[in-house]
Amino acid sequence: MLAGDRLTSTIAYSNTGNQAATGVQITDTLLAGIDYLGSTPAGVYAGGIVTWDIGALPVNEMHTLTVTAQVKASALPGSVVANRVTIGDDGANGSDINPAGNTNTDSDLVIAPHIGIEKRAASPAYAGQPITYTIEGYNSQTATAFDVIVTDTAGRARPSCRVGITGGGTESNGIITWHLGNKAPGITGTLSFAVIPSVSAGGADQTVPTQSTEAISGSLIVTSSTTAPPTGSRPWCDFDGCASFRGIYQGEDGTPPTGYNDNPRLTTFDDSGWAQPLASSTVEYVYWVNPADLAADWVAMHTVSETVGNFTFFRQAFCLPLNAVGLNASVEAAGDDVTDLYLNGVYLGQEIGAGAADTFAGASGIQSGFNILSVQLLNNRHGGHAALDGYDHSGLIFNLGATYTGLRPFVSAPAAVVAGQTVPFAVDELAIGGRTPYSYTLDYGDGSPVAPYQLATTFTHPYNTPGVYTATLTARCQLGCTGSDQLVITALPRPPTFWPTR
């Protein structure tokens, strides 16, 4: 979804019970990032909420409503736009046995292209000898970049002769221009040209700052567990909250806690009343999938057997790098009895029965930085087991796997300097999502003390001894997720100075 786009939401509703409902009302709340344009049939709009008074709703009749809205032009890339629909009746014919199905939140990420380039040269360079420059460009975000143009103006600053331009570039007055057209998300490309420096070229103390692209992939596995991980032990997560697994048992109350399954970029959820899950009862292990098959634990918030339907809700937090791209995920899960899974507010599907696990694709929900897997578990919808005198036990097990194919660069600095010169480092916050504030720490790679976390987006540091250094900058969001970027900096010896003698 791009900033300024129109968004049409279709609301499908029906009565799947066995009694007609009366006094039915539907509300659609525009939560964030969108402006209301209209609805069909027309609802009453006030204070960000559209309301329809439906009245009577017979059993098994499907109906639809539509709402049209517009994404705010000011919506930042990586932010979430959302609306939440709720349906209810007057209860005259009995209460809803599963009110969890009465609320649905649709959330969409705002996307935009993010293009960048890295320029490097084969070295050393000698006057009169060709030197080749390579420009690597990329679109590392999730939207197409249109009419991409690359220009190189370095030849206007230092005398040189241009030769060997690739990629269809043309030169005019010392400027090379490439018209690259449209570039889809994830597309990279390489351009190059060569110059023959004249005897008057050179003399700078450091190169122009550039980023360093990294083709680094990675993965993460998160499983249901009865043990909280030690602080900082999970990848890309510095705080307890970004690795926590918590749940709450609500008995026969199936009304979900508001916002428990929202995208965390949309809702800051308070789980202070939730707790670390326990090991589930082993009484029904004979019926349940072997936990070794998922390398996970069977967990529950309530281990006592029940003769009535009961509800438990879970939230598993985890991090991927803030600058991760090319994301994918899948979840393998089973539960006793009905398991509904959400990843960052996106509904993945429903698994029924504990005897075997089902696999759900998570590519539509996974995101860089902070993630939440949310689960609703309905136990004993079938009246219990005859062998257990009508009793049943609650249990959940899951194994989530997430991957990424690359890391988006977000810090720039000169690639080469003369030893003793101060090197500037600068952070591009949009490259890590733009959801400020972030804090940053920098390991300069030369044995000097690591810079402590700071809110400022710039650092400076001198490299006094000639050598090759790898600097690592780490960004951290407010929730504790991190991402790192590395730059290789070459500190060159200062050329000798010759003094005439007699």
Q: CA 357, CA 350: separation in Å to the nearest integer?
A: 11
Are 1-112 and 113-203 the same fold in CATH? yes
Q: Pick the residue with more confidence: 167 or 360?
A: 360
Query: Which amino acid, one-letter code, is at 104?
Result: N
pLDDT at 13 over 50: yes
Provide the sign of the torsion angle of the four alpha carbons 367, 373, 376, 379, taken in this order: positive
Residue 415 pLDDT grade (very low, low, confident, very high; cuts 50, 70, 90):
confident
Q: If you write DSSP's letter for every residue of 68-126 in order, what string do you get?
A: EEEE-TTPPTT-EEEEEEEEE---TT---S-GGGGEEEEEEE-B---EEEEEEE-S---
Q: CA 375, CA 353: separation in Å to the nearest integer?
A: 15
Residue 157 pLDDT grade (very low, low, confident, very high; cuts 50, 70, 90):
very low
pLDDT > 70: percent of the chain? 91
What pLDDT sits at residue 275? 98
Domain residue extents for the chain: 1-112, 113-203
Average pLDDT over residues 82-88: 92
Q: List, in sequence order, every beta strand (DSSP E) within 362-499.
A: 369-379, 395-404, 406-407, 411-412, 416-418, 422-427, 439-443, 451-454, 458-462, 467-476, 482-492
User: For the segment 116-147, what is each residue's pLDDT rounded down to a tens digit?
Assistant: 777 777 666 666 778 888 887 777 667 888 88
Give the class (CATH, top level) of 1-112.
Answer: mainly beta
What pLDDT sits at residue 331? 98
Tokens 């018209």 belong to 179
What pLDDT sits at residue 183? 86
DSSP assigned state of 494 = P
Q: CA 399, CA 221: separation in Å to the nearest integer?
A: 7
Q: Please count the helices (runs of H) and the strands (runs of E) in the chain.
A: 0, 36
Q: Residue 165: count other Cβ atoms within 10 Å of its Cβ.
A: 17
List CB contacts of 226: < 8 A, sequence separation 6 or more: 276, 277, 278, 279, 297, 299
Query: Which amino acid, one-letter code, is at 493?
Result: P
Q: CA 33, CA 75: separation in Å to the nearest integer?
A: 6
Q: Where are the alpha helices (DSSP H) in 305-358?
A: none
Edge-to-edge strand ranges of the sheet holding 44-46 = 44-46, 49-57, 21-32, 80-88, 103-109
List CB contacts of 261: < 8 A, sequence separation 6 or more: 105, 342, 345, 372, 374, 376
Q: Pick the residue with more confidence: 272 or 214?
A: 272
Task: Supply angle C-alpha 25, 30, 32, rounded to 5.
Answer: 155
Give the class (CATH, top level) of 113-203.
Answer: mainly beta
Query: Residue 342 in contact with residue 366, Cβ under 8 Å?
Result: no
Q: CA 81, CA 73: separation in Å to the nearest integer?
A: 12
Measured torsion, CA atoms of residues 193, 196, 197, 199, in degrees rounded to the nearest 10: 180
φ, ψ for residue 432 (rounded to 5)?
-110, 20
Q: Pick the residue with more confidence: 100 or 467?
A: 467
pLDDT > 90: percent of the chain? 64
pTM of the model: 0.85
Provide the sign of the torsion angle of the four alpha carbons 237, 82, 4, 7, taken in this order: positive
Residue 323 pLDDT grade (very low, low, confident, very high; cuts 50, 70, 90):
very high
Least confident of 181-195, 366-380, 409-423, 449-463: 181-195
Edge-to-edge strand ranges of the sheet holding 422-427 = 411-412, 422-427, 458-462
